[in-house]
Amino acid sequence: MISRSVELTMPSAVKLTVASIVLTALAACATAPAVDLTPPPPKVDAKTGLEYGSPGPRR
């Protein structure tokens, strides 16, 4: 027969486990790296690349 204290502590252990999983997920979302919003460098065709070098003309 299970004692009364074990019956009372099991739901508490389950609640604690669920709460820790939720907090871990929340912490992981809060520390996600920021999205890089800088535009990509302009594409350079072959002629422009030969005339100005690899990066292309500066604007």
pLDDT in tens, 14-40: 889 999 999 998 888 777 677 889 998
Residues in contact with 49: Cβ distance below 8 Å, sequence separation at least 6, in sequence order: 56
Q: Which residue has the tokens 């350079």?
A: 44
Give tens-digit pLDDT for 46-56: 887 788 776 65
CA–CA dist 28, 40 (Å, integer): 28
Break the chain into its structural domains and give their ranges: 1-32
Alpha-carbon distance of 4 to 52, in angstroms, equals 82
Total residue count of the chain as it appears in this document? 59
Q: Which of 58, 31, 26, 21 minimizes the C-alpha distance to 42?
A: 58
